[in-house]
Amino acid sequence: ALHILKTEKQQALALADAITKLKSTVRQCRQCHNLSETDLCSICTDTRRDKSIICVVEQFKDLIALEKTGLCKWLYHVLGGRIAPLEGIEPQDLTIDHLISRIRSEKVSEVVMATNPTVEGDGTALYISSLIKPLGVKVTRLARGLPGGSQIEFASGAILTDAILGRNPLE
């Protein structure tokens, strides 16, 4: 706010205009909940991707970090957070129902759980895995190159690369 007070009126108005535009053009992808300016995001409409693999992340910024490795030729599903009962965040507050209906209606062969390696991230992965397994779909988890308690968005490219390549079945 201080920065805006110090800037020229013209600049401040331009900034306000840009924010308004952003708010009205950016929305959630209908399929994966990635941020998008269109109904379906550029990842969901990318024909070179393996549509049989869905990678589940907590937030948009995790998707960005994974995409930067250049290794992920799969689709995503953005949960919009993680299950955190102490903060009042329950499964129904996330996009888990939509994920399950995607898995039911599409030919999915693997779901990669890429929630953060924290207590809540692990708990969320286990909860979702328990819903997916009865559907006969393989569930994997990013390998433990990721230190426990760390955040995917801050992980280095090298650590993420190890984690993606070495993902394990989630028991």
Binding site for Zn ion (CB under 5 A): 29, 31-32, 34, 41, 44
**In the complex, what is the shortest distance from the CB of residue 104 to Zn ion, in angstroms, rounded to a whole number?**
18
Closest by CA to 55, choosing from 89, 103, 97, is: 103
Residues contacting residue 62 through CB under 8 Å, at least 6 positions apart = 114, 116, 152, 153
**In the complex, what is the shortest distance from the CB of residue 25 to Zn ion, in angstroms, rounded to a whole number?**
16
- Amino acid identity of residue 118, one-letter, is T
Give 51 or 138: the residue with its C-beta nearer to Zn ion. 51
Q: Starting from the edge strand earliest in sequence, which strands make up the sheet with 138-141, in order?
A: 74-78, 50-57, 110-113, 138-141, 168-169
38: helix, coil or strand? coil
Give 75 or 139: the residue with its C-beta nearer to Zn ion. 75
**In the complex, what is the shortest distance from the CB of residue 76 to Zn ion, in angstroms, rounded to a whole number?**
7
Which residue's CB atom is positioned nearest to Zn ion? 29
Give 27 or 138: the residue with its C-beta nearer to Zn ion. 27
**In the complex, what is the shortest distance from the CB of residue 56 to Zn ion, in angstroms, rounded to a whole number?**
13
Give 44 or 128: the residue with its C-beta nearer to Zn ion. 44
Instruction: Report H helices in the chain.
Output: 2-6, 9-25, 60-68, 96-105, 119-132, 157-165
